[in-house]
Copies of this chain bind each other. A is one copy, B any other.
Amino acid sequence: MIRAGIVGGTGYTGVELLRLLATHPAVELAVITSRGEKGVAVSELFPNLRGRVELAFVEPDDAVLKSCDVVFFATPNGTAMKSVPTLLEAGVKVIDLAADFRLRQATDWEQWYAMPHACPTLLEEAVYGLPEVNREAIRQARLVANPGCYPTAVQLGFLPLLAAGVVDPQSLIADAKSGVSGAGRKAAVGSLLCEAGDNFKAYNVPAHRHWPEIRQGLAAMTPDPVDLVFVPHLTPMIRGIHATLYARLTEPDIDLQALFEQRYAGEPFVDVLPPKSHPETRSVRGANLCRLAVHRPQNGKTVVVLSVIDNLVKGAAGQAVQNMNLMFGLPETAGLDQIALLP
């Protein structure tokens, strides 16, 4: 059994990691830490875990974490980078669900996250944990930067187009909609049911931290310079991201449906829907899955890709488990066979 530790874990990413790891056939939950909630039973914070996870939150303790085979960081941005070097040195593998190791350039990190990076030399070693792009590197990695939720949905949608060179990389628009759990479990007025409920709005249109992460990922898919407009929106639901992607076709004769199906043939967690489909976020609720559909309205010059994930699963905890499976030589799908909950 793999001994797994979780640092942080009082947020929605944490409870989802616990849900998945508690039934994972090859994992033993060894420890979960939280300064703020130490001594509190996990099941008191997350009543769904009552009877299923017996752990209580403990103060972070290097000795205990070093005894783990893998440590997941479900902490605010800027926390993991302080502890990761010590853990790696002790032979522990690390999966960071925050942003600390997602950007390859320390200067980008400092610009977008407004703090110096604590271990910039690890940025080069860290593998960006999008298995559909980096599977082999993840298998070898000691340190995986788990992608953000928007970046997962957007990159998987644009990937076949950019990889095949059939769209203008200067024409990319990602209009993305997220459920409110994307904002986390922190008490914030904007996330109240009475503020976010029965309401729809865009936010952070001038600048969002996922923009450089997405652009970096897209840039790696094509030799040409990439231009991306990214507009995130808040939609009144709990889980789910729907990314609607636009790009100008440069190859008008391409069979888009075949392109997508071929690119994702054999991928266990990407599902290309039949032509004329409209994926629904609920079709992946609670499941580690990205469902895609590709359209070309009026047979015109713009391709439209619809991409849905559960932001807490394929956009966070599920993808982290998928990465862990790869890092430890397990079947990639181990512990990830949940069927989406519908209705």
Contacts and interface: CB of A to CB of B under 8 A. Distances in A.
Given A235-B236, A237-B199, A279-B47, A192 B180 contact: yes
Contacts of A229: 246, 297-298, 300, 302, 304
A104 interface: no
Contacts of A341: 19, 48, 285-286, 341
A198 interface: yes
A45 B90 CA distance: 50
A85 B106 CA distance: 60
A194 interface: yes
Contact of A19 (B194, B200, B291, B339): B339
Contact of A235 (B15, B47, B235): B235
Copies in the complex: 4
Contacts of A202: 242, 244, 278, 306
Given A19-B341, A180-B192, A202-B278, A50 B231 contact: no
A280 B201 contact: yes
A200 B185 contact: no
Given A46-B342, A47-B283, A188-B192, 10 more contacts: A48-B285, A187-B192, A192-B192, A198-B239, A205-B276, A206-B295, A229-B297, A230-B297, A231-B244, A239-B343
> Which 4 pairs between the two chains have the least Cβ-Cβ distance?
A48-B340, A47-B283, A48-B342, A187-B187
